[in-house]
């Protein structure tokens, strides 16, 4: 019995820091956690978010799809993927009315002290502003959703919110190839008012990863969501 209780306790601790959904830590954290946006009675909303960009190939193609559909999204950018070559892509993101948040390429940020985490996130925001000419909103998404009490404390010091996503509303496909049509169908069927959807226009290690599935899925997903009566908003 004691062994079972220890195992359960360890599982709870692990999930508190790594669960891809709100869990115990998020309820007790000394900072803001956003895993679902507030519902708006007069207009059901869904929030498309994209992680790990900017990607020199996929992000412009994705922006083309969103522009053609007159849809808005939120892009969580990895600062080290932003340089003189990709800065025009981010400037386009801002210019076309999308929102920008800060992302991370590594889980190690969860181990940083609150002061170090706050400094890291602010430096990332400064880099985006310096290269793209506009500042991201105060939204941070940790790599793979791995978080800690120190992370929440650090974000609270700079008034940033930790932003997650809805249950099952991700493009990870349980180690199977991701197909645009099945992904769009699954996300559209699962979505409900206030839900946050996450897909990837980049990769945390490879800034030029092939993300054509995300571009094609978005082209299918936007009209499918609108057919269900949803409008598309931004986190910021």
Residues with catalytic roles: 51, 200
The pair of three-digit structure tokens given for residue 203, joined into one six-digit string = 């990769």
The pair of three-digit structure tokens given for residue 69, joined into one six-digit string = 């559909």
Q: Are 101 and 77 in contact (CB under 8 A)?
A: yes
Question: By 3-state DSSP, what share of the chain in percent is helix, strand and coil, each rounded to 5?
Answer: 45, 15, 40
Closest listed residue to residue 46, CA positions, set 187, 215, 216, 219: 187
DSSP 156-171: HHTTPEEE---TT-BS
Residue that the structure tokens 């206030």 belong to: 194
SS3 string of 59-79?
Answer: HHHHHHHHHHHCCCCEEEECH
The pair of three-digit structure tokens given for residue 103, joined into one six-digit string = 């992302």
CA dist., res. 73 & res. 234, Å (int): 5
């Amino acid at each position: 019995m004691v062994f079972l209780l220890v195992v359960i306790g360890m599982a709870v601790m692990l999930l508190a820091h790594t669960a891809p959904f709100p869990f115990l830590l998020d309820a007790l954290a000394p900072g803001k956690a956003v895993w679902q946006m507030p519902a708006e009675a007069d207009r059901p909303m869904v929030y498309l978010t994209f992680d790990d960009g900017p990607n020199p190939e996929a992000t412009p193609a994705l922006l083309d799809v969103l522009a053609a559909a007159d849809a808005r999204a939120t892009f969580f950018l990895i600062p080290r993927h932003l340089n003189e070559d990709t800065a025009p892509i981010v400037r386009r993101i801002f210019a076309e009315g999308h929102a920008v948040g800060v992302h991370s390429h590594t889980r190690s940020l969860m181990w940083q002290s609150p002061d170090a985490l706050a400094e890291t996130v602010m430096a990332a925001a400064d880099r985006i502003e310096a290269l793209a000419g506009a500042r991201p909103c105060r939204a941070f998404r940790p790599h793979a959703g791995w978080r800690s009490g120190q992370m929440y404390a650090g974000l609270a010091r700079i008034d940033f919110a930790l932003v997650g996503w809805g249950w099952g509303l991700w493009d990870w496909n349980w180690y199977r190839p991701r197909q645009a049509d099945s992904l769009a169908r699954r996300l559209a069927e699962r979505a409900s008012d206030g839900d946050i959807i996450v897909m990837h226009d980049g990769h945390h290690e490879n800034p030029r990863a092939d993300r054509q599935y995300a571009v094609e899925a978005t082209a299918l997903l936007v009209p499918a969501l609108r057919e269900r009566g949803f409008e598309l908003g931004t986190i910021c």
